[in-house]
Amino acid sequence: MPTPTGIMDPMPEGDTVWQTAQRLHQALAGAPLTRSDLRVPRLATADLTGRQVLEVVPRGKHLLTRVEGGLTLHSHLRMDGSWQVYGPDERWRGGPHHQIRAILATAAHTAVGYRLPVLELLRTGDEDRIVGHLGPDLLGPDWDPDEALRRLLADPARPLGEALLDQRNLAGIGNVYKSELCFVLRVSPWLPIGEVPSPERLVAHAKKLLEANRNRRARVTTAEPRRDRRLWVYGRPGRPCLRCGTPVRAADQGRAGQERSTFWCPSCQAGPQGPGPGPS
């Protein structure tokens, strides 16, 4: 979860996962694996050594490492998982040794998966079992804005923030983009999705923001280079809104047990102001 002074969400979002897939693909694809060490009980006997990595592709927040022989290693980073890539003589710096869940190495590179909460090996033909429920991927070849909009509006009473986080609607949006998109559209995250003016703009802006950030090291939604001004509202509770100066508010949003922190400006964003019905 975010801290009052933080500006980045610890949970990777679609752009971060896309970057991770690119790094893994560049490091592993096209060469046989010289080491395969999968450190989860159900994969303890699995050995991919000698097989060639065909490609590493992102699907929303999921990573699919496809290996010859019709196998896919599926991983998900959730809150604090990560894949790090190292050279042959480089020191591993991703965390303590006991946090390593996977090691995949070629002659040139070693990819190390730290704190991976999801790691499973399946047949490539069965990938739909784990990602088939996802909506159109904002950074994927299957992107379909009309289908994403249809899914978002299927439940018009649902609060906008919750609808955006639901990966079954469109895949790749996390807590940062949820808050930032609502600000850019000047609507409250608690506004029912069916009441959002020109909802097609929502889908277009989501695509634009993730595309703009997929090659950046630091996520930016304001076009400001300064670290404390890169995001409009996310991670800025109590600080002045960068547009109007009103203190930014924060509250948990979501169903019980699934709450996520949400940030918004009560002056710039029209609609219900946090939990409860109050209008802006």
* Residues catalogued as catalytic: 12-13, 61, 260
Spacing of C-alpha 131 from chain mean position: 14
* Number of residues that this document lists for the chain: 280
- CA distances for 93 relative to 11, 83, 251, angstroms: 19, 11, 35
Stated as kind and residue range, the H or E segment containing 165 is helix 160-165
DSSP state of 52: B
Stated as kind and residue range, the H or E segment containing 113 is strand 110-114
Report the 10 Å Cβ neighbour count for 147: 15
Pairwise CA distance, residues 198 & 195, whole Å:
9
266, amino acid identity: P
Pairwise CA distance, residues 172 & 138, whole Å:
6
